[in-house]
Amino acid sequence: MARDYVAFKGTKQGLVLWLDPQAEFSDIVNQLREKLSRTKDFWQGVTVTLKESQRKCRPEEKRQLEEVMGEFGMALREEPEEVVSIGKVQEDQSLMVDRDNALIVRRTLRSGQRVHYPGSVVILGDVNPGAEVVAGGDIIVLGALRGVAHAGAMGEEDAVVVAFRLQPTQLRIAHFISRAPDDADLPEPQGPEIAQVRNNLITIQSYST
- Determine contact, residues 190/206, Cβ cutoff 8 Å: yes
pLDDT over 70, % of the chain: 78
Which residues fall within 8 angstroms of residue 122, CB to CB, at 6 or more apart?
97, 102, 103, 104, 105, 140, 141, 142
Sequence-separated contacts (24+) of 147-151 with Cβ below 8 Å: 147/109, 147/111, 148/172, 151/195
92 confidence band (pLDDT: 50, 70, 90) = very low
The better pLDDT of the pair 116, 184 is held by: 116
What is the CATH number assigned to the segment(s) 94-206? 2.160.20.70
pLDDT at 32 over 60: yes
pTM check: above 0.85: no
pLDDT of 80 reads 57
Fold (topology level) of 6-91: Transcription Regulator spoIIAA (3.30.750)
Task: Provide CATH 2.160.20.70 ranges for the chain.
Answer: 94-206
pLDDT of 180 reads 63
pLDDT at 39 over 80: no
pLDDT over 90, % of the chain: 33
Residues in the chain: 209
pLDDT at 131 over 90: yes
pLDDT of 98 reads 45
